[in-house]
Amino acid sequence: MSEPEVCTICMDTYKNPKILPCSHTMCQECLEKMIASGYRSDVLVCPICRKQHQVPEGGVGKFMPNYFVSTSSEHSITCHVCEIILSDFQKKSGRCSYCNGQMCAPCYKNHRHPENEVRGFQQEDEYSDGLNLDGSHRNTMHNLMMQLQGRAQSILTGSMVHSFQCEQQQEQQTRISRIVVTEDNKLWILVGKGPFIIKYDSKGLELDRKFVDGILLDIALHKDGSLLMIIENYHSVMCYTESQIREYVSAVDSLSPQRILMLPSGFLFVSAVNLTSDQRQNVILVYNTQGSIINTIECDQQGMAFGPITSLASNLKHGHICIVDEKRQCVFFLREGLFPLIYTRPNGFPTRNRGGGFSNPRYRGFRPKSLTCDSKGNVFVYDDASGMIHVLNSSAKLLGFVLTNDEELSGDPSCITIDNTDRLVIGDNTSGKVRIYDIDANYNNLGQIEEDAGSFFASIQQRINDAGDGVVQELADISSQISVNPDTLMNLVLDRQQNV
């Protein structure tokens, strides 16, 4: 359904738009004024349809945000740090030359590159590795540090705590399609496209299984603990309660649901293919707790149609809805009252070849495939083009990547999720294995490489010198003939490390 271009209370562009259970949208401030002027603070009457709604605990700000209507901030400039709307005077306060962020005066005064901080992770001194890795993994880390050249701030290490083999399918390859975590940290796992959804504990003990007569495309957990699912060729989202499958919400016949996400509030996001479009574009359906569609979003706020949406996740700490658009090769962060943030892989970012080797291809693609969020507000994105897991902060800035400590370097992932203890759970694309990792991090201050390339490469040279054979002298001779060309030095170091 379409929304008015302005709030029906203040008749101005929306500010912090909120969707009422009756599907009408108003500014949060306007709703707060209505509550303040009324005779009850726990009941709100919609000024359009006159329906009464119970005000959530915590006030009208807890109503579902409407991410997809025009807001006053869309044509305004916001502070890069605190995101307040800048006045014409404030726009002159300052812009950071490092991150290109425009800020209000207080944020500019205190700005120390907050995007470089890894939320909730341990930070170590510059160049200290602090990683418990064997020789091959230590070399891998050094190679990646050189290739990053300031594009990321941290290497996140994943220490595997459990792994188990899911039930094998008849075909040779067994793909983990989806992993859903329950409140008590059990795992509902969809292998292939069914017909079973199997519940495991973290050590691989089977606890339960559900049979579905059909091809399963996606599963999600309802807030009451039951399973939601999408079955191919059904134009509905189904719900598995005890031993029965019933329709939960429906879509029109021209839309084929593909992915689902339920928020703790009970609001449901469903991505669906528009079967009438030539390029099978995706739309996003938003359902309220009564199962009614309150929004059909056919494009992002800049007018670009969504391609195939392969993954949905909610960043509960920051109130973002995260979307993977496979065709456009990017990740969207939908934000209340603001333009969506967009992440694509930085040029020259190192990629991992299957089998554990690393390379530095400058023109390889980026294929985000699966994403998940932890309790600290970090967003983990699995890139199928490289086999690497990127870690982003709430501003869609790259913090680093996950380097796992198992011999297979987490194999060939197909999907990822975060459990309730912030452990990273990876499902494999071919082996049917599930691997669970504790996530730590090492802060390497990689952003200083460009400013202090000599010190950085001196550190690398010392590491190689520890391996012997006079490698440092050869590096020093070459370094004197060039103007500290990182690519040249990097290739030399990589070649030498392979021969040490």
Task: Give φ, ψ of 41 to 5 degrees.
Answer: -95, -5
Rounded to whole angstroms, the Cα distance separating 372 from 142 reads 27
Name the most confidently modeled range: 19-33, 49-63, 126-140, 217-231.
Answer: 217-231
Q: Where are the alpha helices (DSSP H) in 208-287?
A: none
Task: Over range 290-312, report the average pLDDT.
Answer: 82
Last residue of a domain, one of 447, 464, 480: 447
* 3-class DSSP state of 177: strand
* 3-class DSSP state of 16: coil
Radius of gyration of the chain (CA): 25
Residue 134: per-residue pLDDT: 41
Residues in the chain: 500
**55 in a domain, yes or no?**
no
**16 in a domain, yes or no?**
no
The DSSP secondary-structure symbol of 121 reads: S
Contact at 8 Å (CB) between 262 and 270? no
Rounded to whole angstroms, the Cα distance separating 306 from 331 reads 11
Residue 407: per-residue pLDDT: 57
Name every residue whose Cβ is closer than 8 Å to that of residue 493 and which is 6 or more positions away in sequence: 142, 143, 146, 460, 464, 475
Query: Are 464 and 424 members of one domain?
Result: no
Share of the chain above pLDDT 90, in %: 30
Query: Are 259 and 236 members of one domain?
Result: yes
The number of folded domains in the chain is 2
Residue 341 has pLDDT above 90, yes or no: no
Task: Over range 67-96, report the average pLDDT.
Answer: 62
Element spanning 270, H or E = strand 268-274
Task: Over range 188-204, report the average pLDDT.
Answer: 94
Query: Are 417 and 460 members of one domain?
Result: no
Which of 5-19, 289-303, 469-483 bottoms out in mean pLDDT, i.e. has the lowest? 469-483
Name the most confidently modeled range: 115-119, 156-160, 408-412.
Answer: 156-160
Residue 298 has pLDDT above 50, yes or no: yes
Query: Are 351 and 460 members of one domain?
Result: no
Element spanning 359, H or E = strand 358-359
Task: Over range 151-162, report the average pLDDT.
Answer: 75
**290 in a domain, yes or no?**
yes
Contact at 8 Å (CB) between 464 and 473? no
Residue 169 has pLDDT above 50, yes or no: yes
Largest CA distance in the chain: 84
Residue 381 has pLDDT above 90, yes or no: yes
Q: How far is C-alpha 74 from the geometric centre of its chain's CA atoms?
A: 23
Other beta carbons within 10 Å of 246: 9
Residue 101: per-residue pLDDT: 61
Verdict on whether the full-model pTM lies above 0.75? no
Query: Are 250 and 228 members of one domain?
Result: yes
Handedness of CA 276, 282, 283, 285 (dihedral sign): positive
Structure tokens at 302: 């800049």
Query: Are 410 and 478 members of one domain?
Result: no
* pLDDT higher at 151 or 45: 45
Residue 348: per-residue pLDDT: 57
Domain with residue 209: its CATH number is 2.120.10.30
Residue 280: per-residue pLDDT: 77
Query: Are 298 and 348 members of one domain?
Result: yes
Rounded to whole angstroms, the Cα distance separating 392 from 409 reads 20
* pLDDT higher at 341 or 259: 259
Residue 80 has pLDDT above 50, yes or no: yes
Query: Are 286 and 387 members of one domain?
Result: yes
* 3-class DSSP state of 68: coil
Could you list the residue range(s) of the whole structural domain that residue 295 is in? 135-447
Residue 6: per-residue pLDDT: 78
